A and B are shown apart, each in its own frame.
Chain A
Amino acid sequence: AQKVTQAQTEISVVEKEDVTLDCVYETRDTTYYLFWYKQPPSGELVFLIRRNSFDEQNEISGRYSWNFQKSTSSFNFTITASQVVDSAVYFCALRHYNNNDMRFGAGTRLTVKP
């Protein structure tokens, strides 16, 4: 069975602080894909990153970075120097290779205060 756990329901930080959103997953598959999505107040989910299970390199994109560790089944997301516009709900998701069933975590609501 596939499962994604985002233990942090809500996080509140002050602008310019760094913040890490945790994601832990469970799967029996050896080939799978992990994703992060951002859901701003408008409601639409915005794709941020995809990582396959064979690529454990960390990735940085501007103020965003992702740490994928298969040994701990985690795919954590860090925002450096947070901004008010980063306020949103963030979802981690897991998808088995060649299977269209994508599983989402419960989401973490991030509030960045000015």
Chain B
Amino acid sequence: DGGITQSPKYLFRKEGQNVTLSCEQNLNHDAMYWYRQDPGQGLRLIYYSQIVNDFQKGDIAEGYSVSREKKESFPLTVTSAQKNPTAFYLCASTLRGVGELFFGEGSRLTVL
């Protein structure tokens, strides 16, 4: 089945550690996104990528990094520079243009 797969679903990390969240899609979509969701704040855009080897910062990119080496994959690294990384992270993809976003099931990161 076509879709977006995020892993891991739950992740615990100690302060000062980097962690990478995986996002893979087999929908042949060009654009991919990472959003962060905090209670009562909706979704905030971290990074997005419209094509391979290209990506743009969203509203809250500080403390995060991404890569887009393959069309299917858009991993997000939460670095130790991110001051408050505990959140629910959602990956999404879409065809370029005007389509709706398709979302993965999310990854919940907790920093201990």
List residues of chain A with CB under 8 Å of any chain B CB: 6, 9, 33, 35, 37, 42-47, 50, 52, 91, 95, 97-98, 100-107
Residues in A with CB closer than 8 Å to B98 are 33, 50, 52, 95, 97-98
Partner of B97, one of A37, A98, A106: A98
B61 interfacial by beta-carbon distance below 8 Å: no
A100 to B102, CA, bound (A): 13
Partner of B42, one of A43, A44, A47, A107: A107
Residue of B nearest to A102 (CB): B101
Q: List 23 contacting pairs A-B, 8 Å CB cutoff, sorted by A.
A: A43-B90, A43-B105, A44-B103, A44-B105, A44-B106, A45-B92, A45-B101, A47-B101, A50-B100, A91-B42, A100-B48, A100-B94, A101-B48, A101-B58, A102-B45, A102-B101, A103-B45, A104-B43, A104-B44, A105-B42, A106-B40, A106-B42, A107-B42
Supplied contacts A43-B105, A100-B94, 18 more A-B pairs, CB within 8 Å? A42-B105, A43-B90, A44-B104, A44-B105, A45-B92, A45-B101, A47-B101, A91-B42, A98-B97, A100-B33, A100-B50, A102-B33, A102-B45, A103-B45, A104-B44, A105-B42, A106-B40, A106-B42
